[in-house]
Amino acid sequence: MPHTKETSLPTAEQLDMERRRLRYKRRYNRTLRSTVAILIVVAALAVLAATLWMPVLRVYGSSMAPTLHNGEILVSVKTKDFSSGDIIAFYHGNKLLIKRYIAGPSDYVNIDEDGAVSVNGTLLDEPYLAEKAYGEADIEFPYQVPDQRYFVMGDNRSVSIDSRSSIVGCIAEDQIVGKVVFRVWPLSAFGPLR
């Protein structure tokens, strides 16, 4: 007698379970694809925003101590509207520097031997300094800021190389990245900058 292979047909319950499994798999794949697409769009928008409007910066060095410290991460806002005392970021050569805006085009800056800074004859109130210092200056004071240039100084005046030195000098408007407004790291110092 020849041997016959028996094939059993799936039951209605098995077919229903298979249909539900396939439907779930399709729904899962669709959800996964849409989630990945949303994450890619959000990441692209975050990169675009960070590049165009709110660059994220990292502090290197101690020229802005005690206000900013090495390794801190900051957010800046692209703007050209600065007041004396604002912290700005700018390019110098291929480096990104962070200093404090002191004076603008045509202003007269004077620094006495004790490190007290005055702009257009008015002494600046600088509560952000730990100590005043004349620092590394190879320009003659009183100094008039050239047109379309900005005079900047670090908060750690004794070690900061800034507009007092011809190495950095006054910065041009097209070098400016923006005004530093917020500290995001470390979390213990999270918050707006003043």
Residues with a catalytic annotation lie at: 63, 99
Phi-psi region of 12 (alpha: psi -120 to 50; beta: other; left: phi over 0): alpha
Tell me the CA distances in angstroms from 104 to 4, 22, 84, one per residue in order: 98, 68, 9
Confirm if 137 and 76 have CB atoms less than 8 A apart. Answer: no
Computed over its alpha carbons, how large is the radius of gyration of the chain? Answer: 30
What is the SS3 assignment for 18? helix
Tokens read off for 51: 């590049």
Tokens read off for 76: 């800046």
